[in-house]
Structure 1
Amino acid sequence: MGTQVRSCPKCFQLMWLKQDHYDVIDEETVRTKCPHCDSTVRFQLVTAGANAAGPKMGH
């Protein structure tokens, strides 16, 4: 898993998180701390479907 770009659910700022900035809880969930407001947040990873490998650019 590479860099994750997510918005914080509390302060709504974008977080650019590298591999060493987040903890993998299970195969579908990661936990991290927002660098802006210092709140602990969890994210569900998309593992199936069209967006599982990230956004597609172009057609």
Structure 2
Amino acid sequence: MRRPAPGRPRRGVVGDAASAGGDMDTTCAMVGGIVAARTGLDGVPGEWVNAREALPPL
């Protein structure tokens, strides 16, 4: 997988991970986590946040 260009849309980075093949769900989850750690929740598209599975209560 190549390093994304600066400013590349987050969707593109996760899409690159998905198109790499292999264990795509794990790879995309890791890439998404890295993106969120770098950009904060504001860097994650709103529809992705709204479509995620609910987290169990603590």
Larger relative contact order (C-alpha < 8 A, sep ≥ 6)?
2
The normalised TM-score by structure 2 is 0.24
TM-score when normalising by structure 1: 0.24
Judging by fraction of residues, say which structure has more helix.
Answer: 2
